[in-house]
Amino acid sequence: MSLEKVIFGGAIISTVLFIILSTTGNTELIENDSWLIEETCLGSHSSGISHTHSSLSIFIDGSEVLLSANIGIQDSECPEGMRGIHTHDDSGTLHIETPNQIDAPIGAFFNIWGEIFNSERILDNTANSDYEIEMRVNGEINEEYENYIMLDGDNIEIYYKQR
């Protein structure tokens, strides 16, 4: 078999795989899970910015995980300021601050934090036959997981619990 046939065959297989993944909605292998708000770096709390808050609570097998203070503040991506989503203390309050209106998916906060959250994983915990991941927004089950766009005043609870 010639090298040209091998390359051509590989290109066909890659194209077919891309089409299947795209049309079935299973795009995890081709999507980049990063959001515009992750690139935001503000130097201060100036008056010309959008400033909203959401509350995040995480429960792993019944125990609450406290968020650290200063997540997204003076980190490697924003050494002189604050990322678009950040914490100031360990209360669970997420500060969403941007120079203009930018969507703030909860997954962007986890990326800023350096942790993982989606329908299959929360921090170091993976859903399986014994455990599930449930997200509630303002008391209602929400299945948007990392793609949920946070709104001012949202109370977000994430549970890793037995089925």
* Model confidence pLDDT, tens digit, residues 109-139: 999 999 999 999 999 999 999 999 999 999 9
pTM, entire model? 0.78
Amino acid residing at 4? E
Integer Cα distance of 161 and 68 in angstroms: 22
* Model confidence pLDDT, tens digit, residues 71-107: 999 999 999 999 999 999 999 999 999 988 899 999 9
Q: Are 71 and 87 in contact (CB under 8 A)?
A: yes
Closest among 111, 92, 81 to 53, alpha carbons compared: 92
